[in-house]
Copies of this chain bind each other. A is one copy, B any other.
Amino acid sequence: MGKKNKSKRYVVGVDLGATKIFTVVITKKGKIKAKARVKTPAQEGVAAVVGKMVRSVRRAVEKAEISPSQVLAVGVTVPGPINPKKGIVFRAPNLKDWQNVPLGTMLEAELDYPIVLENDVNAGTYGEFALGAARGKRDVVGIFPGTGVGGGIVVGGKLHSGFRYSAAEVGHMIIHANGEICGCGNRGCVEAYASRTAIERDIRAAITQGRPSVITDLIDLENDRITSGVLKKAVKAEDEVVTEVLKKAQYYLGLHVATIVNFFDPEIIVFGGGMIEALGKSFLKPIRQTARAHFTNRLEAKRVKIVPAKLGDYSVALGVAMLARRAVK
Q: Which residues of A pack against B, CB within 8 Å?
A: 81, 138-139, 151, 153, 155-156, 158, 160-170, 172-179, 184, 186, 188, 251-252, 255, 258-260, 262-267, 293-294, 296-297, 300, 303-304
Chain B residues in 8 Å Cβ range of A175: 174-175, 177
- Please tell me if the beta carbons of B169 and A262 are within 8 angstroms of each other in the complex: yes
Chain B residues in 8 Å Cβ range of A164: 265, 297, 300, 303-304
Copies in the complex: 2
Task: State in angstroms the CA–CA spacing of A71 and B73 once bound together.
Answer: 50
Identify 7 residue pairs between A and B in the complex whose beta-carbon atoms are under 8 Å apart, listed by A's number: A151-B263, A163-B266, A163-B304, A168-B265, A172-B262, A177-B179, A177-B255
- Please tell me if the beta carbons of B139 and A263 are within 8 angstroms of each other in the complex: no
- Please tell me if the beta carbons of A173 and B259 are within 8 angstroms of each other in the complex: yes
- Please tell me if the beta carbons of B265 and A263 are within 8 angstroms of each other in the complex: no
Among A138, A164, A178, A304, the most chain B Cβ lie within 10 Å of the Cβ of A164
Task: State in angstroms the CA–CA spacing of A63 and B296 once bound together.
Answer: 40
Task: State in angstroms the CA–CA spacing of A186 and B166 once bound together.
Answer: 30
Chain B residues in 8 Å Cβ range of A264: 153, 160, 162, 167, 263-264
- Please tell me if the beta carbons of A263 and B266 are within 8 angstroms of each other in the complex: no
Chain B residues in 8 Å Cβ range of A153: 263-264
Task: State in angstroms the CA–CA spacing of A213 and B174 once bound together.
Answer: 32
Chain B residues in 8 Å Cβ range of A184: 296
Chain B residues in 8 Å Cβ range of A163: 138-139, 265-267, 303-304
Determine which of B169, B297, B303 lies in contact with A263 in the assembled complex, contact meaning CB atoms within 8 Å: B169
- Please tell me if the beta carbons of A186 and B267 are within 8 angstroms of each other in the complex: no
Task: State in angstroms the CA–CA spacing of A266 and B155 once bound together.
Answer: 13
Chain B residues in 8 Å Cβ range of A297: 81, 164, 166, 169
Determine which of B167, B168, B265 lies in contact with A162 in the assembled complex, contact meaning CB atoms within 8 Å: B265
Q: Can you list the 7 inter-chain pairs with the closest CB atoms, starting with the nearest? A: A162-B265, A166-B297, A167-B265, A169-B296, A169-B262, A172-B262, A172-B296
Chain B residues in 8 Å Cβ range of A294: 172, 174, 186
Chain B residues in 8 Å Cβ range of A81: 297
In chain B, what residue has the closest Cβ to A170? B263
Determine which of B160, B168, B260 lies in contact with A155 in the assembled complex, contact meaning CB atoms within 8 Å: B160
Chain B residues in 8 Å Cβ range of A251: 177
Task: State in angstroms the CA–CA spacing of A262 and B174 once bound together.
Answer: 9
- Please tell me if the beta carbons of A265 and B166 are within 8 angstroms of each other in the complex: yes
In chain B, what residue has the closest Cβ to A178? B176
Determine which of B170, B176, B263, B303 lies in contact with A173 in the assembled complex, contact meaning CB atoms within 8 Å: B263
Chain B residues in 8 Å Cβ range of A304: 163-164
Known: A163-B267, A167-B263. 5 other contacts (CB 8 A): A160-B264, A168-B265, A169-B296, A172-B262, A176-B188
Task: State in angstroms the CA–CA spacing of A293 and B258 once bound together.
Answer: 24
Chain B residues in 8 Å Cβ range of A168: 263, 265
